[in-house]
Chain A
Amino acid sequence: MTPKHIGRRTFVKAAGTAVGSTVLLPACASSTRGWRFLTAAEATVVDAIAEQVIPADDDPGAREAGVVSYIDRQLAGPFEKHQQAYRRGIVGVQQAANAMFGGDFESLRWTQQTAVLRTMERNDAPGDVWQSTSARSFFELVRDHTMQGFYGSPRHGGNRDFVSFRMLGLDYPRIVGQNRYKMFPGGS
């Protein structure tokens, strides 16, 4: 992913000083210590689900990207309407985890966690909560929020250190106007 004609660091430096383009820095990419809506226990569960949705491999996964920080922050803001879905859904995840494997979700082995989420995705997860609530809808909600937290702008608490932009070979911090100068020929 190294540009052919010019090193990335060199380019960023040039863009910031000599060329004078705007280098956009995220407002606050670091996570906060305390949670805004989730309890610490709930955050652990959401974190584990998110890591299943986008696992670490050669590139960082949802955990390292701070996806749970993103979700927690939005639950105290634009996602306020989803607060009860999370509160109840997390209880349901634990019910399913205990019914299927006799332990809390975050303590299960990787493949067991995957199996729990697959039953939720199929909408046949065990547990009282899922008698009256759609397990699939909750799973899809968390999945979608995880994608946002991982692939969206770092300004909302996720995509920490631009991990997904690095993975996709996109400029970071994002540079407005780079393409004016065609410095990334062939896109690699």
Chain B
Amino acid sequence: MALRHVNAVIVGAGAGGGIVAKELAEAGLSVVLLERGRWHSYADIDGDELRSQRTPALGNAYGPDDERYRRVVQDHAGEWRLVVPSHWLYNNNAACVGGGTLSYGAMAWRFMPEDFRMRSTYGDVPGSSLEDWPISYDDLEPYYEKAEWQIGVSGDDSQNPFAPPRRRPHPMPPFSYNTEGRLLHDTARRIGLHPFPIPMLRNSVPYAGRPGCINNRTCVGFACPVNAKNGSQNTVIPAALATGNCELRINAVVSEVHIDDRGRATGVSYFDERDRRQTQTADLVVVAASATETARLLLNSRSRLFPNGAGNNNDWVGRNLQGHAYCGAFGLFDEIVYDDVGPGACVAVCDYNHHNDGIVGGGLLANEFIRMPYLFTGRRPPGAPSWGRAHKDFQRTYFRRHASVIGPIQEMPVFASRVEVDPVVTDHWGIPVARISGHRHQEDRRGTDFLSTRAEEWMRAAGAHTTWKVGQGGGPTASGGQHQSGTCRMGDDPRSSVVNRYGQVHEIDNLFVADGSLHVTNGGFNPALTIMALGFWVADYITREWTGTHFR
């Protein structure tokens, strides 16, 4: 039996897709939101570190599962590896209602104006496809504001002299510091930095009918037991459903976007919870499946006019895959600096975002989320024993006497770093899997050397008796991970981008992308709030310009 035709079908109920669903549904469009995962709650894993989305030793808590999903990824030695989602090479984000926003750390950064103008600010970087965005910070500012107020952010930019201009303050006051945060804040001030509380997509006070944060240790990598962490699953998706215009279908694995012989999207095919193939027709198709899976879906959508995948006649779909080059420093202290007040990360500086001599872009520095006991077993100074009495003694002594500041260096996009579809390997449903290959740019290493040196200075000034650097950019594998982006670049020139400034696929005007795939560059910041702002931006264009049969 054919499914009822709708105005819009949206693929992916994460940061971008959830927002587009709500905006379109509120505008009166009939919407079907397809999500390959399901609903989850904290109780599913009960704070179990071995199932956490951060350390999935026994499998991902919030999907995808290791049984039905796989990818082919080029490893350090250039070998193709078949990997399951809980393997780090898979570059997983999540597969559930809320996507990454269910279990993220929830930092709520706005990119800075320079992040949208990287080429203009820094010039050509050989070997990189570094470019300006077709839109500016000013274009996106009102949409950042929508994200902050509708999803819910706690913060206070007045303490950050490098914060981009804003018209409206954050809706909730900032979080206070824990013991480690206070120490690092005071130290940073003393050495001339400009520390401030990290803006967070968490409730510092009750907001929108949900309670304030209870400062769990089990925060990043976990859903929130009291719903004080704000994602699409507890904000815009319920709002979309409440309109009566949006139907959410979970366990729906989309295999293809259909493009007809006139070059128009007509809908999608997906496998439902009983692995039956369904086809949902729609006037509009919005793909928001994250940078890897969005690219894979477009590439798997072959048609007469687009034999190499939807919107891919110029071979740009899947290109410029980026993430972040995380780096920083650890420090060991004589005194206890740990107070078990979660989530841990609370203080940051933006002194190292832009305008540092010789550094292209740079990145923020912030204290790290709480290192859970198993995760901490891998955090040791170079040369320290990895097992035995000394290892255990270190664990016991320093679990409460260490701190870390880390940050995401903005990676230089590389055209050769890409998502393709594998010619042989398929998943449980017979859909060709994503194949990831490429490398990171050497410039990233200059950035991480710089930032981790600054991090180590901060640690030393804070009184650490032993410090060491972690993380180095510019490696031989493609980047990606939870901050994956860039694979459907937005641009004004259809020859060197996949979508236009509104996320509309060049040549297919009723097919949109609304996730991190759009990012031309990925900022020196966690990208969630920018993905949300882009969701509002794309949805705003659709609701303003769609007449019901065509775009104005």
Footprint of B on A, CB under 8 Å?
A: 22, 24, 52-55, 57, 59, 61, 74, 77-78, 114, 117, 143-144, 146-148, 151-153, 155-156, 164-165, 167-170, 174, 176-180, 182, 184-188
Contact = CB atoms under 8 A, between A and B. Distances in A.
Contacts of A169: 399-400
A147 B374 contact: yes
A187 B338 contact: yes
Contacts of A148: 50, 57-58, 374
Contacts of A155: 46, 48
A178 B47 CA distance: 14
Given A147-B374, A151-B374, A164-B373, A184 B340 contact: yes
Contact of B387 (A52, A77, A180): A52
A114 B390 CA distance: 13
B51 to A, nearest CB: 8
Contact of A156 (B58, B376, B389, B400): B58
A186 B179 contact: yes
Interface of B: 42, 46-50, 57-59, 66, 179, 214-218, 225-226, 336-342, 373-374, 376-378, 386-389, 391-393, 395-396, 399-400
A174 to B, nearest CB: 6
23 contacts: A22-B225, A53-B391, A55-B392, A117-B387, A143-B386, A147-B378, A148-B374, A152-B57, A153-B48, A155-B46, A168-B373, A169-B399, A170-B373, A176-B47, A177-B225, A179-B214, A179-B340, A179-B341, A186-B336, A187-B179, A187-B340, A188-B336, A188-B400
Nearest to B47: A174
B50 A55 contact: no
B48 A152 contact: yes
A169 B340 CA distance: 10
Contacts of B376: 151
Contacts of A59: 392, 396
Contacts of B215: 179-180
A185 B179 CA distance: 9
A24 B387 contact: no
Contacts of A174: 47, 218
Nearest to B338: A187
Q: Give the interface SS of chain B, mostly helix, strand, loop or mixed.
A: loop
Nearest to A153: B48
B214 A57 contact: no
A53 B57 contact: no
A168 B402 CA distance: 13
Interface centre among A147, A148, A185 (most CB of B within 10 A): A147
- Among A61, A169, A185, the most chain B Cβ lie within 10 Å of the Cβ of A169
A54 B217 CA distance: 24
A24 B373 contact: no
A25 to B, nearest CB: 9
A168 B399 contact: yes
B28 to A, nearest CB: 41
Contacts of A187: 179, 336-340, 400
Contact of B214 (A24, A146, A180): A180
Given A177-B226, A179-B341, A55 B336 contact: no
A56 to B, nearest CB: 9
Contacts of B339: 184-187
A188 B50 CA distance: 25
Contacts of B395: 151, 167-168
A143 B387 contact: yes
Given A117-B387, A179-B341, A187-B340, 14 more contacts: A78-B59, A114-B388, A148-B58, A151-B377, A152-B49, A153-B49, A155-B46, A156-B50, A165-B373, A168-B396, A169-B400, A170-B217, A170-B373, A185-B339
A185 B391 CA distance: 27
A153 B46 contact: yes
Contacts of A176: 42, 47, 214, 216, 218, 225
B373 A151 contact: yes
A155 B388 CA distance: 24
B191 to A, nearest CB: 25
A182 B214 CA distance: 10
Contacts of A168: 373, 395-396, 399-400
A164 B179 CA distance: 23
Nearest to B377: A147
A24 B58 contact: no
A167 B398 CA distance: 12
